[in-house]
Amino acid sequence: MAGGIAHDFNNLLMAILGHSDLARLELPEKSPAQQHLEQIQTASERAADLCRQMLAYSGRGTFLIEPIDINQLIDELMNMLHTAVSKKAEICLHQSRDLPNVHADATQIRQVVMNLVLNASDALGEQGGTITVTTERREVSAEDLVNSLTRETLEPGPYVCVEIADTGCGMSEEVLQRIFEPFFTTKFTGRGLGLSAVLGIVKGHKGFLRVKSRPGYGTCFTIGLPAHESRRVAEPAAADTANVKPTGLILFVEDEPLLQQLGTKMLTSLGLKSIVASDGNEAVRLYQQRKSEISVIMLDMTMPYMNGEEAYRELRKIDPNVVVILASGFTESEINERFDGCPLAGFLQKPYTLASLKAALGKALRQTEQK
């Protein structure tokens, strides 16, 4: 059920992201509405992260491990955190600059931070107080890791640390011994992942977790993730489809009517012509009829009658060199496993933006020129 909901919700998010992209193109750059559309896109991308997590929990997806800038992740969370915490709570942010990246799943780490900040807000209660979020790089020795709750998975070395401290009520030693038990609670309302899941996520990332607390003196959680000393390298600018003559047809294969209309409009905005197929069977039939005209096929993964995997194999029977970009809510690593030995011209993870569509098509159209 979770997987089915995530799939359907991803389609809705695709429509929201795509139409907001198109609206931004039609508005003057300095229009006040541009800021609102940017917030819509940001919120939609956050919701897409949650969909991917639902797919992972349902067994129909995997978490995405990638280089993460912890400072950037926390900066992006701040507006949401200020809204979510008690109005009597003040959030103070102290960030060390030029932190190395960590290799992590951004959605999981984002929710760990959110969970710990919300717990800190609850601990402040009606009295109010301060929540301090600190980031820094630390060189951690084996001795430093002795008090970690995840010490069996750890290696000494450089870590990127996030410390979340509050001036709230604090916890007794008895409560501290139980806070990571599943379903354990005190007076706090049950929100977010729960501390047992926080522990599991940190352990899964081979990080350390420490907590210090005393009744009346507040609580401090420290998480550390192994640092990758190389800074994130900016990706090269995507090739512009304007350099490719848009003379061929794009066969856009999608069963959702809302996304059919969106896909056609997005392709038109890039100067490309398209025809639409509603399922794999229709895609195979149209390709048989108009193979000489069609340059690239954009193929949805989940469709009735014949899914994307089955359709791709049928299309390759017609032309072993068929140029296909696959669109899916699954992750690229999963898709590569399922299409092992069948080269794809590109992959777009739903929901995708106009910019990512443009980059994928630019690469695929250049490939057609070389056929």
User: pLDDT grade, residue 189 (50/70/90)?
Assistant: very low
Q: Domain for residue 262, yes or no?
A: yes
pLDDT at 58 over 60: no
| pLDDT at position 340 | 67
For every residue of 298-344, DSSP letters joined together read EEESS-SSS-HHHHHHHHHHH-TT--EEEEESS-HHHHHHHTTTS--
| pLDDT at position 94 | 96
Query: Is residue 223 a contact partner of residue 161, using CB atoms and an 8 Å limit?
Result: yes
Residue 212 and residue 113 share a domain = yes
Q: Domain for residue 29, yes or no?
A: yes
pLDDT at 285 over 90: yes
Residue 88 and residue 156 share a domain = yes
Compute the distance between CA of residue 172 and CA of residue 194 in angstroms, rounded to an integer.
19
Residue 94 and residue 212 share a domain = yes
Q: Which one of 11-15, 119-123, 278-282 scores highest in mean pLDDT?
A: 278-282
pLDDT at 147 over 80: no
Q: pLDDT by residue (tens digit) across 221-251?
A: 999 999 986 554 444 444 444 444 445 789 9
Q: Domain for residue 233, yes or no?
A: no
Determine the average pLDDT of the residues in 81-93.
Answer: 89
pLDDT at 185 over 70: no
Residue 204 and residue 80 share a domain = yes
Three-state DSSP at 358 gives helix
Residue 325 and residue 264 share a domain = yes
Burial (CB count <10 Å: 0-12, 13-18, 19+), residue 259: buried
Q: Domain for residue 62, yes or no?
A: no
| pLDDT at position 303 | 86
User: pLDDT grade, residue 344 (50/70/90)?
Assistant: confident
| pLDDT at position 204 | 81
| pLDDT at position 237 | 41
pLDDT at 289 over 90: yes
Cα angle, residue 345 at apex, residues 231 and 284 outer, rounded to 5°: 150
Residue 245 and residue 209 share a domain = no
User: pLDDT grade, residue 92 (50/70/90)?
Assistant: very high
Residue 258 and residue 204 share a domain = no
Rounded to two decimals, the pTM is 0.57
| pLDDT at position 247 | 55
Q: Does an H or E element contain 274, and which? A: strand 273-277
CB atoms within 10 A of CB 358: 20
- % of the chain with per-residue pLDDT over 90: 38
Q: Domain for residue 235, yes or no?
A: no
Residue 103, domain extent:
70-228
Q: pLDDT by residue (tens digit) across 200-213?
A: 888 888 899 999 99
pLDDT at 350 over 60: yes
Residue 39 and residue 90 share a domain = no
State which of 171, 201, 228 marks the end of a domain.
Answer: 228
Q: Domain for residue 255, yes or no?
A: yes
Residues 6+ apart with CB under 8 A from 165: 120, 131, 132, 134, 218, 219, 220, 221
Q: Domain for residue 83, yes or no?
A: yes
Residue 198 and residue 94 share a domain = yes
| Average pLDDT of every residue of the chain | 83
Residue 221 and residue 246 share a domain = no
Q: pLDDT by residue (tens digit) across 252-273?
A: 999 989 899 999 999 999 999 9
Give the CATH number of the domain where residue 173 resides: 3.30.565.10
Residue 139 and residue 221 share a domain = yes
- Nearest CA-CA partner of 192 in 64, 53, 288, 321: 53
Domains held by the chain: number: 3
State which of 207, 228, 249 marks the end of a domain.
Answer: 228
Give the CATH number of the domain where residue 364 resides: 3.40.50.2300
pLDDT at 314 over 90: yes
Residue 144 and residue 16 share a domain = no
